[in-house]
Chain A
Amino acid sequence: MSYNAVKITRGSSGWGGPLVIKPTETRNVVLSVTGGGIDPVSQKIADLTGGRVVDGFATSVPDDQIMVAVVDCGGTARCGVYPKKKIFTINLTPVGKSGPLAAFMNEDIYVSGVKELNIELVGDGEVLSSKASEAKAETPKDETYVALSKRTQTKKPNILESIGRGAGKVVGVFYSAGKETIDMIIRNVLPFMAFVSMLIGIILKSGIGNIIADWVAPFSSTIPGLLLISVVAAIPILSPLLGPGAVIAQVVGVLVGVEIGKGNIPPQYALPALFAINPQVGCDFIPVGLSLAEAEPETVEIGVPAILISRLVTGPISVVIAYLASFGLY
């Protein structure tokens, strides 16, 4: 079986890369973790390199057999999981280093915004074996505290010293917790606030809000309407497409919020609405979530349909439970 190497460069608005990869006897799987079957990019990589393409939604493959994972991640989860496992990752959506696992997403293992034209055959010379790209994974330790604890280990610590070291350690924990928080705010929270404010600004000022009011409000201000939304969003073909990064749930949440603020939807419907707009939560992430739980391929093959079907039942039930719990709210 002759394998060839391919070079994958980032798309126009993409980030990271270029990656040069080549399958080996044991590690030759192109794992396509994108909603709706195997995407063209994975297919092309497999055809060019001679590797084997597998639909990550149908089944899962042990990590050491995966040559490259192709995802269409919105920026929260999937794009970080595979780099953390030190697997080459290609993201079809042009997302940079983002999400809670951004620390593991480095140019030598992750590339985004990739289209078919960004993939080309190359000679064997420049092949990067995946082990060589050791992701600089651990969050940068604070040198002063690490140096402090090493130096004092040598002689028997007296009381004062151990108190000092203990206090230093605790302060170090608080300090790194603060750094982690600010990093999370800048990387995840502020970008979404910018996007949401732009959306609300345009909706309120341009009058589109009234059109949405006539379209969204009648559904989300009555229980049958909310139940209808929850059933539609839970349809097994739709839910994996509505799931990524919970963007749809957040946009609809904002729209419903604007309508509640304008009085078109009674405030006590906020609780059932929270469940009606979200029966699809995580439906795009099932195979990856199960692989994080070290599930067998058979479990994934049964788990994906089982959860999608269960949501058709539990989506509407969650709206009913929330409606019952909303009495006396406001």
Chain B
Amino acid sequence: MSFLSGLAEGFIGLFNEGGSVFMGLVTGIIPTLVVLITFVNAIIKLVGEEKVENLAKATTKYRLTRYTIFPILSVFFLTNPMCYSFGRFVKEELKPAFYDAAVSFVHPITGIFPHANAGELFVYLGIANGITTLGLPLGDLAMRYLLVGIVVILMRGIVTEAITKTMIKKRSEA
């Protein structure tokens, strides 16, 4: 009989642990998240998409801004998945490169602006949870994740643009 009760104890223990982890996530993360996302949503509504579009169009001329400021604006203001619709402001052969840069930013941004991709927070939060269990501050990781994210999307935009153009040229010769 003690074996069975031990089994039941172990079984329930699994979900008590899960429950306490859930409580930790809800009390630790949700309150700040709700207030922060409400604030950012309000700003996006007040600024309005049209003003953002004109600003965004201006940044598509040069490669340096087309794969940094442009995707940041589209991911911040339109969030995932509508941010890719800003791809309509660039020429055809640049659209894959813009998509690559924008989609590669939808996770680095969630460290500081979770509203941009609330459906996929745990890419960052999963790892950040380990850092908080060690009692270390998160700000440093979140900021470096964002900054490295910007460098990576610039690199990805440039590499993908080069590959796309060579493939287009090869196709036109074939």
Contact = CB atoms under 8 A, between A and B. Distances in A.
A289 B78 CA distance: 13
A221 to B, nearest CB: 12
A99 B153 CA distance: 24
B131 interface: yes
A205 interface: yes
A182 B103 CA distance: 25
A267 B15 contact: no
Interface string B101-137: 0111011100000010011111111111111011010
Contact of A173 (B42, B118, B127): B42
B8 interface: no
Contacts of A293: 84-88, 90, 95, 98-99
Contacts of A245: 119-120
A192 interface: yes
B87 A202 contact: no
A210 interface: no
Contacts of B15: 198, 201
Contacts of A197: 18-19, 21-22, 25
A289 B120 CA distance: 17
Contact of A202 (B14, B82, B129, B130): B14
Contacts of A178: 38, 41
B96 A306 contact: yes
Contacts of B46: 170, 173
A226 to B, nearest CB: 12
Given A193-B25, A196-B122, A181 B41 contact: yes
A249 interface: yes
B24 to A, nearest CB: 8
Interface of B is mostly: helix
A299 B165 CA distance: 10
A228 interface: no
Interface residues of B, number: 82
B144 A174 contact: no
B167 A306 contact: yes
B96 to A, nearest CB: 3
B156 interface: yes
B68 interface: no
B17 A260 contact: no
Nearest to A310: B160
Interface residues of A, number: 91
Nearest to B30: A185
Contact of A303 (B99, B126, B159, B171): B99
Contact of A318 (B29, B33, B131, B152): B152
A322 interface: yes
B103 A281 contact: yes
B59 interface: no
A181 B31 CA distance: 12
Contacts of B152: 275, 314, 317-318, 321-322
A286 interface: yes
Interface string A237-279: 0000000011001111111111111010101001101110110
B143 to A, nearest CB: 10
Nearest to B88: A294
Given A176-B45, A254-B122, A275-B152, A201 B30 contact: no
A121 interface: no
B127 A253 contact: yes
A288 to B, nearest CB: 8
Contact of B167 (A170, A196, A302, A330): A302
Contacts of B87: 289-290, 292-295
Nearest to A98: B119
B19 A189 contact: no
A189 B30 contact: yes
Contacts of A329: 140-141, 144
Contacts of A78: 81
A14 interface: no
A291 to B, nearest CB: 9
B96 A202 contact: no
Contact of A196 (B25, B96, B128, B168): B25
Contacts of A321: 148, 151-152, 155
A100 B81 contact: yes
17 contacts: A75-B119, A101-B81, A177-B38, A205-B10, A250-B122, A252-B126, A271-B141, A274-B145, A275-B152, A277-B123, A281-B107, A293-B87, A295-B92, A298-B92, A303-B96, A306-B164, A307-B99
| Among all A-B residue pairs, the 4 with the closest Cβ atoms | A293-B87, A201-B18, A253-B126, A260-B130
